[in-house]
Chains A and B, each alone.
Chain A
Amino acid sequence: MSTVTGTPSYDRVQVGQELPELTVPLTRTLIVATAIASRDYQDVHHDPELARERGSKDIFMNILSTNGFVGRFVTDWAGPDAVLKRVAIRLGVPNYPGDSMRLTGVVRAKVDGAVEVEVRGANSLGDHVSGTVTVALPR
């Protein structure tokens, strides 16, 4: 279990540094709760029968929640004094209930007080999400 541990400073962060991993168990409750917390009532995120009719094998996580986990993953590491500037993600395979998603990240660049973190979130089917998060850190 990861915790908020305080803010790493920009000066000490190194390119190539890895972030602490975060594994998210993808319970049905989590997928529904995050969809509703983001006010996304699309049936594919809560109704298995309708999800199947629409060509999916089950309900799946909505992209707003994926954003939520990517943001959380980075700020779990970067801490309360970090400031997110940009989150750019691309979705791959769906997050279905019963699976889990393992988030990993590597610092790829440092520019003007902000670091760029390359993030991946993989489940048993492959990469659910890949992207880049830009976060400003205190000096």
Chain B
Amino acid sequence: MGPPEPAPDPVNQAMIRHWVEAVGDRNPVYVDAEAAAASVHGQVVAPPVMLQAWAMRGLRPRPPAGGTAQDELMALLDEAGFTSVVATNCEQDYDRYLHIGDHLSAAAVIESVSDEKGTALGPGHFVTTRITYTDQHGERVASMLFRILKFRPPQPAGAGSGGKGEEGAQPRPRRPRPALTQDNAFFFEGAHQGRLLIQRCASCLRLRHPPRPMCPHCRSLEWDTVEAGGRGSVYSYVINHHPQVPAFDYPLVIALVELEEGTRLVSDLVGVDPGEVQVGMAVEVDFVAFDDELTLPVFRPVAAG
């Protein structure tokens, strides 16, 4: 929980006027002293739904260090790539209407941060905050539950290409790069040379895939590689229609191929109508250079005869 942060300005007629003009609210109790005096309110009041506006940071710079817990949480989520934000829920309870001259403070408590959720906007975390508003006497005037979604936006089409351009004129986004490690780099280097390599334990000579540092059979950390013959069969497959990533063609046939050598690997299956794919289908490797840096093995059905 952060300490109460005072609003930059007391409740004032100018900000109320800006608000009711923008929203088109013609309720006279917000701007007309006479009408307000004759109403149940007795004096000019601020629109209660304007609550949050009083304590907004606006364009004031964030404190350089030692910001609030909220600031810290937002910074952490930004760093993790959840850079976009939308508000999803707001529940305000008003103890009383605010009058000109009232000076609010807002104290925020982060109630919860959800696990990562898949949403229509992208993966993200819901952050629920409870804010208590007090006046210059320390009396509570309102409380609010506020929920936002901090999400990772999808790469916009043509990101980084600059300019607007015509639809379709933008270069196609490149395939995602593999996450290279000391253990798996040989596989991708082999592919770049048109060779399908399998990791082999140097002690017991068993083959294994995907690559990893230790042999699951004899626990040896020593390994080398052998080149596969490139033939195998479809052990299982899935046809991906959605969600679509711009670097791929859809429907995308993703197969788990069992090589003649006995290991299995996940790969694109090309040169086949998605409706024709069958488990057990004989396939052979081919290599596709997706761009200057990235060549990957794909599999295609073995030509009949």
A98 close to chain B: CB less than 8 A: no
Cross-chain contact A38 with B53 (CB below 8 angstroms):
yes
Known contacts A38-B19, A54-B153, A85-B94: does B52 contact A64 (CB below 8 Å)?
Answer: yes
Cross-chain contact B83 with A54 (CB below 8 angstroms):
yes
A40 close to chain B: CB less than 8 A: yes
B229 close to chain A: CB less than 8 A: no
How large, as a class, is the contact surface on chain A? 35 or more
Cβ-closest chain B residue relative to A84: B48
Give which listed residue, A42, A68, A91, contacts B49 with CB less than 8 A.
Answer: A68
Cross-chain contact B59 with A41 (CB below 8 angstroms):
yes
Known contacts A54-B84, A86-B92: does B156 contact A72 (CB below 8 Å)?
Answer: no
A47-84: CB near B (< 8 Å → 1, else 0) gives: 00000111110000011110111111001100111111
The smallest C-beta distance from B77 to any residue of chain A, in angstroms, reads 14
Cross-chain contact A4 with B27 (CB below 8 angstroms):
yes
With most chain A CB atoms within 10 A of its CB, the pick from B23, B57, B89, B91 is B23
Give Cα distance in the complex from A84 to B47, angstroms.
9
Cross-chain contact A71 with B47 (CB below 8 angstroms):
yes
The smallest C-beta distance from B92 to any residue of chain A, in angstroms, reads 5
Cross-chain contact B88 with A91 (CB below 8 angstroms):
yes
Interface of B is mostly: mixed
Cross-chain contact B47 with A68 (CB below 8 angstroms):
yes
The smallest C-beta distance from B266 to any residue of chain A, in angstroms, reads 28
Give Cα distance in the complex from A75 to B23, angstroms.
13
Interface residues of A in 17-33 (CB under 8 A from B): 24, 30, 33
The smallest C-beta distance from B86 to any residue of chain A, in angstroms, reads 7
Q: What are the 10 A-B residue pairs with the smallest beta carbon separation, nearest first?
A: A55-B153, A71-B49, A39-B56, A63-B87, A88-B91, A37-B22, A68-B23, A33-B22, A72-B25, A67-B49
Chain B contact residues, CB within 8 Å of chain A:
15, 18-19, 21-29, 35-36, 39-41, 47-53, 56-59, 83-94, 97, 121-122, 151, 153-154, 156, 159
Chain A contact residues, CB within 8 Å of chain B:
3-4, 24, 30, 33-34, 36-42, 44, 52-56, 62-65, 67-72, 75-76, 79-91, 94, 138
Beyond A41-B58, A67-B92, A91-B89, 4 extra complex contacts between A and B, CB < 8 Å: A36-B22, A37-B22, A41-B59, A67-B51
Q: List 19 A-B contacts (CB under 8 A).
A: A30-B22, A37-B18, A39-B58, A44-B84, A55-B84, A55-B151, A55-B154, A56-B84, A68-B25, A79-B27, A80-B27, A80-B36, A84-B94, A85-B94, A86-B91, A86-B94, A89-B91, A90-B89, A91-B86
